[in-house]
Amino acid sequence: MTLPVSADLIAQHNHAGMAALEDDYDALGRKLARAGLDIDRVKARVAAFGVAVPSWGAGRGGTRFAKFPIPGEPTNIHEKLEDCAVINQLGRSTPRVSPHFPWDKVSDYAALREEAAELGLGWDAVNSNTFQDQVGQAHTYANGSLSAQDAATRQQAVDHNIACIEIGRQLGSTDLTVWVGDGTNFPGQQDFARSLDRYLDGAAQIYAALPDDWRMLLEHKMFEPAFYSTVISDWGSSILAAQELGPKAKCLVDLGHHAPNVNIEQIVARLHRFGKLGGFHFNDSKYGDDDLDSGSINPHQLFLVFNELAEAEDHPREGFRPSYMIDQSHNVTDPIESMLSSAEAIAQCYAKASIVDRPALHAAQADNDTMMAFQALRRAYTIDVAPILAMARVEAGGAIDPIAVYRASQYRPRKAQERKAVGLGAGIV
């Protein structure tokens, strides 16, 4: 395995910070022990935790207005994998990549699988794309894809999703994420029931093509690109569709796909209760589907989502194995730094949720002792778990301070010399 950042540079940086880390770790260990918690057990859970990075997040993103590329950003899946390997080498919590097709299309997927493995990376859910038209495409998605009025367009969307399953099989993935932007901008533009039925008919054909050990993750979204109605607009439409399709259909929660102030952690609990919690696209937002860095705007909400996941882990439902994935658009930062920072924020919330005193929480809930129930969560949320994450990283060969080592490696300026410049444009990729 050849990793992109020099192991000596990482060791050098870690050596300088090790004494302080050990001091912080021991102090936190004593604090957690007073609460009956074994810090090494928490560290082991953190070390086993991983979140996938989106291939499309390795490049700079943009909005409909503009995209501002940076020198040295990746221009194809091969360069994106290299950057994802930097994130995993330094952060040690992002061992898988979630690809998107046709954005990541190549001619030899067995070779791509090998290339990723050589960089220490595996593959998470594959994403289909029936929200853009490709050059030479027979039927436009301007009027929808799986829910389109035109049967040939629907069939084209079904065939594309089945082709993504085949690619995923070659990469070693076992999940297909299906997000469709289908919807309307005007009242009356389409019939709500009939457009959903067309979607369900197409989705059933995709479902029928799933290998036995695969899942289909339905991703709901309130609006954009449609601004009056969206076919799979919320968790209700998503869970009903997943129940209609069958046991291999699950629901994916993209944190940015809800109206402001929606109680997303309750949606997580509901989907789990009915055995339909399939996975996550982690990001953060203040207004719409802003795709900002996870935990950058509302870290407490992210903690509360992981608190529900910790409860779900203690009370698993059939087939409970949620896929944890990041889905962000890095418009103003270096994408590698944003994903290092986001993976840290996500793992922090996972660690904080795993040190909640659940017996105390449940006892307070049973006694209707509202303040003590809240305090059980708040106590865990306010503990700085950074030493645990850093120690887990170092023991796995990563960096105590990943962003500092990334900058010291001069990786991006080096790539700016090697890679061709990305043109100006707009849009998410």
Is 281 an interacting residue with respect to Mn ion (CB under 5 A)? yes
By a kind-dependent CB cut-off of 5 to 8 A, residue 308 interacts, out of Mn ion, ligand LRH, none, with none
Q: How far is the CB of 102 from Mn ion (least distance, A)?
A: 17
By a kind-dependent CB cut-off of 5 to 8 A, residue 428 interacts, out of Mn ion, ligand LRH, none, with ligand LRH
Among 82, 104, 254, 265, binds Mn ion (CB under 5 A): 254
Stretch that binds Mn ion, among 150-158, 222-230, 321-329, 408-416 (CB under 5 A): 321-329
Q: Is 323 exposed, middle or buried (0-12, 13-18, 19+ CB in 10 A)?
A: buried
**How many residues sit close enough to Mn ion to count as binding (CB under 5 A)?**
3
Q: For ligand LRH, which is the closer residue by CB, 115 or 290? A: 290
Q: Are 19 and 63 in contact (CB under 8 A)?
A: no
By a kind-dependent CB cut-off of 5 to 8 A, residue 289 interacts, out of Mn ion, ligand LRH, none, with ligand LRH
Q: How far is the CB of 388 from ligand LRH (least distance, A)?
A: 30
By a kind-dependent CB cut-off of 5 to 8 A, residue 221 interacts, out of ligand LRH, Mn ion, none, with ligand LRH
Stretch that binds Mn ion, among 75-83, 206-214, 249-257, 374-382 (CB under 5 A): 249-257
By a kind-dependent CB cut-off of 5 to 8 A, residue 127 interacts, out of ligand LRH, Mn ion, none, with ligand LRH
Q: How far is the CB of 392 from Mn ion (least distance, A)?
A: 27
The residues that touch ligand LRH, with contacts defined as CB under 6 A, are: 56, 127, 179, 219, 221, 254, 281, 289, 327, 428
Q: For ligand LRH, which is the closer residue by CB, 289 or 401? A: 289
Is 327 an interacting residue with respect to Mn ion (CB under 5 A)? yes
Q: For ligand LRH, which is the closer residue by CB, 289 or 293? A: 289
In the chain, the N- to C-terminal Cα span, in Å, equals: 29
Which residues contact Mn ion by CB under 5 A? 254, 281, 327
